[in-house]
Amino acid sequence: MCFRQDGRDITAVDGVSLRLQRGRTLALVGESGCGKSATAHSVLRLIQAPGRVNGGRILLRPRGEDVINVLALSERDADLYRLRGGLVALIFQEPQSALSPVHTLGAQLCETIGIHLRIPARDAKALAIEMLEQLGLPNPAARMSQYSHELSGGMRQRAVIAMALVCRPQVLVADEPTTALDERLRAQVFQVLRRQQDQFGMAVLLVTHDFAAVAKEADDVAVMYCGQIVEQGPAPAIMCQPAHPYTRALLNSVPADMPRAATRRLPTIAGAVPERGAMPSGCRFHPRCPNAQPGLCDTKAPPLERVSAGRQLACFKAVEMCHA
């Protein structure tokens, strides 16, 4: 996918291939600006023009139905309508932007339920209250008649999560879903997500900087650098034995004894992320890579290749590093 800048297309996400599986959580990690949100928003066709997805495929197989080719749907297609907020839900980074300031929380929740679940109003209200309760909002019935400005930041964030989950989506795209929450509420939110996964097989794409959450909540991890996936595989393997120098650097930037709250800060790695539109030749990470081999890493782009069961890596040093 690309954005338009100074009259030309700048590629922000390039050749990314992710597979979200029913009931599992895939964490998408990487430094700020690497293209995580752009990838996440593409899934729902929410890239604003003149930005656009300019190639590839996004396929969704709803339970018991044929595959939907998301990019082939027109803006007026009923499937796109059903997709957004119904089959696939998105939790934005900024909770405020997802809530209407002029409608009560209850009206917004019940409207969403009405559109996607088509159940009687009384049942919709009960379902909405139950969702708020599961997410730990105090006095959930009373909250239903409040407006977003009457809620604290943490409550707003959980209200947005309730909006996303209440229609039992088959896929949840969660972009930094728990940033405004303390440790206890974060755990509660992830518990609710896990329950929806176990009960309804919801798949989760979790965009995050929080490596503690990745270690605890993710089944699989994809590591992104400059718009490309450089390593992906099962979370325990990647977290314990990162093979790509970038993954290693990311994990090394989070000291093991750092308090959990602090690990949510953006990681810092020596060197600078290349300017968009001025990507280095060869491997995009080579100018910052301690293992870069002149004449190889600066001239050829390493393909993302399978290195073991379920694990892929884009690095010419893959074999040596995996056996190190």
Interface residues with ligand ATP (CB under 6 A) are 3, 5, 12, 30, 32-38, 48, 51, 276
Q: Is beta strand 311-313 parallel, antiparallel or unpaired with respect to 228-234?
A: antiparallel
CB of 30 to ligand ATP, least distance (A): 6
CB of 301 to ligand ATP, least distance (A): 19
DSSP code string of 57-113: --EE--TTSPPEEGGG--TT-HHHHHHBTTTEEEE-S-HHHHS-TTS-HHHHHHHHH
| Nearer residue to ligand ATP within complex by CB, 155 or 223 | 223
CB of 190 to ligand ATP, least distance (A): 19
**Residue 281 burial (CB count, 10 A):** 11
| Nearer residue to ligand ATP within complex by CB, 28 or 128 | 28
* CB-CB contact of 46 with 58 (8 Å): no
| Nearer residue to ligand ATP within complex by CB, 10 or 296 | 10
CB of 229 to ligand ATP, least distance (A): 12
| Nearer residue to ligand ATP within complex by CB, 175 or 217 | 175
Query: In this structure, what is the dihedral angle of CA atoms 278, 284, 288, 293, given to the nearest 10 degrees?
Result: -120
CB of 140 to ligand ATP, least distance (A): 30
Query: How is residue 176 written in tokens?
Result: 């930094």
| Nearer residue to ligand ATP within complex by CB, 28 or 166 | 28
Which residues are bridge partners to 60 per DSSP? 68
Tell me how far apart the alpha carbons of residues 162 and 151 are, in angstroms, rounded to a whole number.
14
CB of 10 to ligand ATP, least distance (A): 7
| Nearer residue to ligand ATP within complex by CB, 30 or 282 | 30
Which residue in the block uniquely carries the two structure tokens 């995050």?
A: 208
